[in-house]
Amino acid sequence: MNLDNFSHRLTSLFPYILLLASGLSFYRPELFTWFSGIYITLGLGCIMLGMGLTLNTADFRRVLQYPKSILLGIFLQYSIMPFSSFFIARLFQLPDEFIVGMVLVGSCPGGTASNVISYIAKANVALSVSMTALSTLLAVFLTPTLSTVLASSTLEVNSMGLLISTFEVVIIPVSLGIILNTFFHRSAEKLSKASPFIAVIFIVLIVASILGSSSQALLQSGPSLLLAVFTLHSIGFVSGYFISFVLNRDKIISRTISIEVGMQNSGLAVHLANQNFTQPLIAVPGAISSLIHSIIGSILAAIWNKK
Protein backbone atom coordinates (compact mmCIF):
# COMPACT_ATOMS: atom_id res chain seq x y z
CA MET A 1 0.00 0.00 0.00
CA ASN A 2 1.47 3.36 -1.03
CA LEU A 3 1.42 6.50 1.11
CA ASP A 4 -1.44 8.06 -0.87
CA ASN A 5 -3.75 5.07 -0.30
CA PHE A 6 -2.71 4.78 3.34
CA SER A 7 -3.48 8.47 3.99
CA HIS A 8 -6.85 8.17 2.26
CA ARG A 9 -7.83 5.10 4.30
CA LEU A 10 -6.71 6.66 7.56
CA THR A 11 -8.62 9.86 6.76
CA SER A 12 -11.78 7.88 6.02
CA LEU A 13 -11.44 6.30 9.49
CA PHE A 14 -10.86 9.72 11.11
CA PRO A 15 -14.24 9.98 12.95
CA TYR A 16 -13.79 6.52 14.49
CA ILE A 17 -10.21 7.21 15.56
CA LEU A 18 -11.30 10.55 17.03
CA LEU A 19 -14.21 8.94 18.89
CA LEU A 20 -11.94 6.23 20.31
CA ALA A 21 -9.27 8.72 21.43
CA SER A 22 -11.90 11.03 22.95
CA GLY A 23 -13.35 8.19 25.02
CA LEU A 24 -9.89 7.05 26.08
CA SER A 25 -8.98 10.58 27.19
CA PHE A 26 -11.57 10.36 29.99
CA TYR A 27 -10.09 7.15 31.41
CA ARG A 28 -6.40 7.73 30.69
CA PRO A 29 -6.01 11.52 30.30
CA GLU A 30 -2.26 11.32 30.88
CA LEU A 31 -1.92 9.67 27.47
CA PHE A 32 -2.93 12.94 25.80
CA THR A 33 -2.63 15.89 28.21
CA TRP A 34 1.11 16.20 27.50
CA PHE A 35 0.12 17.52 24.08
CA SER A 36 -0.55 21.13 25.05
CA GLY A 37 0.77 24.67 24.71
CA ILE A 38 3.38 24.96 21.97
CA TYR A 39 2.55 21.47 20.69
CA ILE A 40 -1.00 22.54 19.81
CA THR A 41 0.34 25.64 18.05
CA LEU A 42 2.87 23.61 16.05
CA GLY A 43 0.30 20.91 15.29
CA LEU A 44 -2.21 23.39 13.92
CA GLY A 45 0.57 25.12 11.96
CA CYS A 46 1.48 21.79 10.34
CA ILE A 47 -2.17 21.19 9.40
CA MET A 48 -2.38 24.63 7.79
CA LEU A 49 0.94 24.07 6.01
CA GLY A 50 -0.43 20.81 4.63
CA MET A 51 -3.46 22.67 3.35
CA GLY A 52 -1.23 25.25 1.67
CA LEU A 53 0.76 22.49 -0.05
CA THR A 54 -2.38 21.43 -1.90
CA LEU A 55 -3.26 24.95 -3.08
CA ASN A 56 -2.16 26.97 -6.08
CA THR A 57 -3.30 30.09 -7.87
CA ALA A 58 -5.87 28.04 -9.83
CA ASP A 59 -7.79 27.39 -6.61
CA PHE A 60 -8.26 31.12 -6.13
CA ARG A 61 -9.00 31.77 -9.80
CA ARG A 62 -11.81 29.24 -9.43
CA VAL A 63 -13.70 31.96 -7.58
CA LEU A 64 -14.43 33.36 -11.04
CA GLN A 65 -15.79 29.97 -12.13
CA TYR A 66 -18.17 29.53 -9.18
CA PRO A 67 -18.60 33.12 -7.94
CA LYS A 68 -22.17 32.85 -6.66
CA SER A 69 -21.69 29.47 -4.98
CA ILE A 70 -18.44 30.47 -3.28
CA LEU A 71 -19.80 33.81 -2.09
CA LEU A 72 -22.95 32.10 -0.80
CA GLY A 73 -20.90 29.53 1.09
CA ILE A 74 -18.64 32.18 2.61
CA PHE A 75 -21.63 34.34 3.55
CA LEU A 76 -23.41 31.44 5.29
CA GLN A 77 -20.14 30.42 6.96
CA TYR A 78 -19.65 33.81 8.58
CA SER A 79 -23.28 34.66 9.31
CA ILE A 80 -25.28 31.59 10.29
CA MET A 81 -22.53 29.86 12.27
CA PRO A 82 -21.22 32.70 14.48
CA PHE A 83 -24.63 34.17 15.32
CA SER A 84 -26.20 30.74 15.82
CA SER A 85 -23.35 29.76 18.15
CA PHE A 86 -24.04 32.74 20.40
CA PHE A 87 -27.81 32.31 20.58
CA ILE A 88 -27.61 28.53 21.01
CA ALA A 89 -25.12 28.91 23.87
CA ARG A 90 -27.46 31.42 25.54
CA LEU A 91 -30.48 29.19 24.91
CA PHE A 92 -28.80 26.25 26.63
CA GLN A 93 -27.67 28.56 29.47
CA LEU A 94 -24.07 27.46 29.19
CA PRO A 95 -21.38 28.88 31.52
CA ASP A 96 -19.60 32.00 30.28
CA GLU A 97 -16.47 30.06 29.32
CA PHE A 98 -18.45 27.69 27.12
CA ILE A 99 -20.34 30.60 25.53
CA VAL A 100 -17.08 32.21 24.45
CA GLY A 101 -15.79 28.83 23.26
CA MET A 102 -18.95 28.29 21.20
CA VAL A 103 -18.57 31.73 19.63
CA LEU A 104 -14.95 30.96 18.70
CA VAL A 105 -16.08 27.74 17.01
CA GLY A 106 -18.86 29.51 15.12
CA SER A 107 -16.56 32.33 14.01
CA CYS A 108 -13.86 30.08 12.56
CA PRO A 109 -13.53 29.20 8.85
CA GLY A 110 -14.39 25.87 7.26
CA GLY A 111 -12.21 22.97 8.31
CA THR A 112 -9.79 21.18 6.01
CA ALA A 113 -11.61 17.90 6.71
CA SER A 114 -14.54 19.29 4.70
CA ASN A 115 -12.56 18.67 1.50
CA VAL A 116 -12.21 14.97 2.31
CA ILE A 117 -15.86 14.66 3.35
CA SER A 118 -16.88 16.38 0.10
CA TYR A 119 -14.88 13.81 -1.84
CA ILE A 120 -16.57 10.90 -0.03
CA ALA A 121 -20.00 12.53 -0.45
CA LYS A 122 -19.49 12.88 -4.23
CA ALA A 123 -19.78 16.64 -3.89
CA ASN A 124 -17.80 19.28 -5.82
CA VAL A 125 -14.30 18.93 -4.35
CA ALA A 126 -12.84 21.82 -6.38
CA LEU A 127 -15.55 24.13 -5.04
CA SER A 128 -14.96 22.84 -1.51
CA VAL A 129 -11.22 23.51 -1.71
CA SER A 130 -11.79 27.03 -3.03
CA MET A 131 -14.32 27.87 -0.30
CA THR A 132 -12.03 26.50 2.42
CA ALA A 133 -9.07 28.46 1.05
CA LEU A 134 -10.97 31.74 0.79
CA SER A 135 -12.74 31.41 4.15
CA THR A 136 -9.39 30.59 5.78
CA LEU A 137 -7.78 33.75 4.40
CA LEU A 138 -10.78 35.86 5.44
CA ALA A 139 -10.57 34.35 8.93
CA VAL A 140 -7.62 36.59 9.76
CA PHE A 141 -10.02 39.52 10.00
CA LEU A 142 -13.49 37.98 10.36
CA THR A 143 -12.78 35.47 13.14
CA PRO A 144 -11.33 38.03 15.61
CA THR A 145 -13.96 40.63 14.65
CA LEU A 146 -16.98 38.33 15.02
CA SER A 147 -15.60 36.77 18.20
CA THR A 148 -15.07 40.19 19.75
CA VAL A 149 -18.52 41.51 18.77
CA LEU A 150 -20.39 38.44 20.02
CA ALA A 151 -18.34 37.40 23.05
CA SER A 152 -17.19 40.71 24.54
CA SER A 153 -20.44 41.07 26.49
CA THR A 154 -19.67 37.75 28.23
CA LEU A 155 -15.92 37.92 28.91
CA GLU A 156 -13.14 40.36 28.06
CA VAL A 157 -11.82 39.56 24.59
CA ASN A 158 -8.34 40.48 23.37
CA SER A 159 -9.24 41.27 19.75
CA MET A 160 -5.67 42.19 18.76
CA GLY A 161 -4.38 38.97 20.31
CA LEU A 162 -6.94 36.98 18.33
CA LEU A 163 -5.88 38.77 15.14
CA ILE A 164 -2.17 38.07 15.71
CA SER A 165 -2.78 34.43 16.69
CA THR A 166 -4.93 33.81 13.62
CA PHE A 167 -2.32 35.40 11.37
CA GLU A 168 0.45 33.28 12.88
CA VAL A 169 -1.25 29.90 12.48
CA VAL A 170 -3.20 30.58 9.28
CA ILE A 171 -1.59 33.05 6.91
CA ILE A 172 2.07 32.20 7.55
CA PRO A 173 1.86 28.38 7.16
CA VAL A 174 -0.74 28.48 4.36
CA SER A 175 1.30 31.06 2.43
CA LEU A 176 4.46 29.00 2.93
CA GLY A 177 2.65 25.93 1.61
CA ILE A 178 1.43 27.80 -1.48
CA ILE A 179 4.94 29.14 -2.16
CA LEU A 180 6.43 25.65 -1.86
CA ASN A 181 3.75 24.23 -4.15
CA THR A 182 4.36 26.98 -6.70
CA PHE A 183 8.16 26.88 -6.87
CA PHE A 184 8.90 23.31 -5.72
CA HIS A 185 5.83 21.53 -7.02
CA ARG A 186 7.22 17.98 -7.16
CA SER A 187 8.52 18.07 -3.61
CA ALA A 188 5.33 19.74 -2.37
CA GLU A 189 3.22 17.10 -4.12
CA LYS A 190 5.09 14.32 -2.32
CA LEU A 191 4.74 16.08 1.02
CA SER A 192 1.04 16.79 0.45
CA LYS A 193 0.33 13.06 0.17
CA ALA A 194 1.26 12.71 3.83
CA SER A 195 -0.66 15.82 4.96
CA PRO A 196 -4.04 14.04 5.53
CA PHE A 197 -2.29 11.47 7.74
CA ILE A 198 -0.49 14.22 9.67
CA ALA A 199 -3.71 16.26 10.02
CA VAL A 200 -5.58 13.27 11.46
CA ILE A 201 -2.85 12.61 14.04
CA PHE A 202 -2.63 16.24 15.18
CA ILE A 203 -6.41 16.82 15.36
CA VAL A 204 -6.85 13.63 17.39
CA LEU A 205 -4.08 14.70 19.80
CA ILE A 206 -5.45 18.24 20.14
CA VAL A 207 -9.03 17.11 20.82
CA ALA A 208 -8.07 14.29 23.21
CA SER A 209 -5.70 16.60 25.09
CA ILE A 210 -8.37 19.25 25.69
CA LEU A 211 -11.02 16.69 26.66
CA GLY A 212 -8.63 14.85 28.97
CA SER A 213 -7.57 18.00 30.81
CA SER A 214 -11.19 19.22 31.18
CA SER A 215 -12.93 15.89 31.80
CA GLN A 216 -14.38 16.79 35.22
CA ALA A 217 -15.89 20.09 34.06
CA LEU A 218 -17.20 18.40 30.94
CA LEU A 219 -18.90 15.64 32.95
CA GLN A 220 -20.63 18.28 35.09
CA SER A 221 -22.15 20.23 32.21
CA GLY A 222 -21.35 17.86 29.37
CA PRO A 223 -24.87 16.93 28.20
CA SER A 224 -25.86 20.56 27.68
CA LEU A 225 -22.62 21.40 25.89
CA LEU A 226 -22.79 18.29 23.69
CA LEU A 227 -26.37 19.08 22.69
CA ALA A 228 -25.52 22.74 22.06
CA VAL A 229 -22.57 21.87 19.79
CA PHE A 230 -24.64 19.21 18.00
CA THR A 231 -27.41 21.77 17.42
CA LEU A 232 -24.94 24.33 16.05
CA HIS A 233 -23.42 21.98 13.50
CA SER A 234 -26.80 20.53 12.55
CA ILE A 235 -28.03 24.04 11.76
CA GLY A 236 -24.92 24.59 9.64
CA PHE A 237 -25.35 21.40 7.62
CA VAL A 238 -29.12 21.76 7.15
CA SER A 239 -29.23 25.49 6.39
CA GLY A 240 -26.22 25.23 4.08
CA TYR A 241 -27.94 22.57 2.00
CA PHE A 242 -31.46 23.97 1.81
CA ILE A 243 -30.58 27.64 1.33
CA SER A 244 -28.16 26.67 -1.43
CA PHE A 245 -30.69 24.34 -3.07
CA VAL A 246 -33.43 26.98 -3.02
CA LEU A 247 -31.10 29.45 -4.74
CA ASN A 248 -29.38 27.25 -7.33
CA ARG A 249 -31.34 23.96 -7.57
CA ASP A 250 -28.10 21.99 -7.83
CA LYS A 251 -27.82 19.02 -5.43
CA ILE A 252 -24.06 18.60 -5.86
CA ILE A 253 -23.30 22.25 -5.08
CA SER A 254 -25.80 22.15 -2.21
CA ARG A 255 -24.00 19.14 -0.71
CA THR A 256 -20.70 20.98 -0.99
CA ILE A 257 -21.95 24.14 0.69
CA SER A 258 -23.70 22.11 3.40
CA ILE A 259 -20.45 20.34 4.28
CA GLU A 260 -18.43 23.55 4.15
CA VAL A 261 -20.80 25.47 6.42
CA GLY A 262 -21.38 22.59 8.83
CA MET A 263 -17.71 21.72 9.39
CA GLN A 264 -15.58 24.27 11.22
CA ASN A 265 -11.84 24.62 11.77
CA SER A 266 -12.23 23.57 15.39
CA GLY A 267 -8.48 23.22 15.84
CA LEU A 268 -8.15 26.95 15.22
CA ALA A 269 -10.84 27.62 17.84
CA VAL A 270 -8.90 25.54 20.38
CA HIS A 271 -5.65 27.36 19.58
CA LEU A 272 -7.24 30.81 19.85
CA ALA A 273 -8.83 29.85 23.17
CA ASN A 274 -5.54 28.62 24.62
CA GLN A 275 -3.48 31.55 23.37
CA ASN A 276 -5.79 34.43 24.24
CA PHE A 277 -7.76 33.43 27.34
CA THR A 278 -6.71 32.32 30.81
CA GLN A 279 -9.77 30.11 31.32
CA PRO A 280 -8.93 26.60 30.01
CA LEU A 281 -12.62 25.64 29.67
CA ILE A 282 -12.99 28.02 26.70
CA ALA A 283 -11.13 25.48 24.56
CA VAL A 284 -13.54 22.63 25.37
CA PRO A 285 -16.32 23.53 22.86
CA GLY A 286 -13.70 23.49 20.10
CA ALA A 287 -12.63 19.97 21.05
CA ILE A 288 -16.24 18.76 21.22
CA SER A 289 -16.96 20.49 17.91
CA SER A 290 -14.26 18.57 16.08
CA LEU A 291 -15.78 15.28 17.22
CA ILE A 292 -19.40 16.23 16.50
CA HIS A 293 -18.99 17.74 13.04
CA SER A 294 -16.75 14.88 11.94
CA ILE A 295 -19.40 12.33 12.90
CA ILE A 296 -22.27 14.27 11.28
CA GLY A 297 -20.22 14.94 8.15
CA SER A 298 -19.21 11.29 7.84
CA ILE A 299 -22.82 10.09 8.19
CA LEU A 300 -24.00 12.54 5.52
CA ALA A 301 -21.10 11.57 3.25
CA ALA A 302 -22.02 7.89 3.56
CA ILE A 303 -25.66 8.65 2.68
CA TRP A 304 -24.82 10.93 -0.25
CA ASN A 305 -22.17 8.53 -1.54
CA LYS A 306 -24.91 6.02 -2.33
CA LYS A 307 -27.01 8.51 -4.31
Mean residue pLDDT of the chain comes to 86
Distance of CA 52 to the CA centre of its chain: 15
pLDDT at 12 over 80: no
Rounded mean pLDDT of 3-27?
A: 79
> Bridge-partner residues for 110, per DSSP?
264
Query: Which carries the bigger pLDDT value, residue 222 or residue 286?
Result: 286
Rounded mean pLDDT of 256-264?
A: 95
- Give Cβ neighbours of residue 113 (< 8 Å, ≥ 6 apart): 11, 14, 199, 203, 263, 294, 297
Q: What is the pLDDT of residues 229-253, one digit of tens each?
A: 999 999 999 999 999 999 988 999 9
| pTM metric for this prediction | 0.85
Confidence of residue 98 (pLDDT cuts 50, 70, 90): very high
pLDDT at 180 over 80: yes
| Among 144-148, 252-256, 276-280, the least confident range | 276-280
| Among 46-50, 62-66, 248-252, 278-282, the least confident range | 62-66
pLDDT at 230: 96
35-305 has which fold?
A: Na+/H+ antiporter like fold (1.20.1530)
Q: What is the dihedral sign for C-alpha 83, 236, 279, 168?
A: negative
60 residue type, one letter? F
Rounded mean pLDDT of 160-164?
A: 84
pLDDT at 71: 92
pLDDT at 1: 57
Instruction: Read off φ and ψ for residue 228, nearest 5 degrees.
Output: -65, -45
E strands, 128-238, in order: none
Q: What is the CA radius of gyration of the chain?
A: 18
What are the structural domain ranges in the chain? 35-305
Q: What is the pLDDT of residues 279-297, one digit of tens each?
A: 888 989 998 898 889 889 8
Contact 103, 82 (CB under 8 A): yes
pLDDT at 99 over 80: yes
Helices 284-305, 251-262: inter-axial angle, 10-degree rounding: 160
Instruction: Read off φ and ψ for residue 32, nearest 5 degrees.
Output: -125, -25
| Among 7-11, 68-72, 146-150, 292-296, the least confident range | 7-11
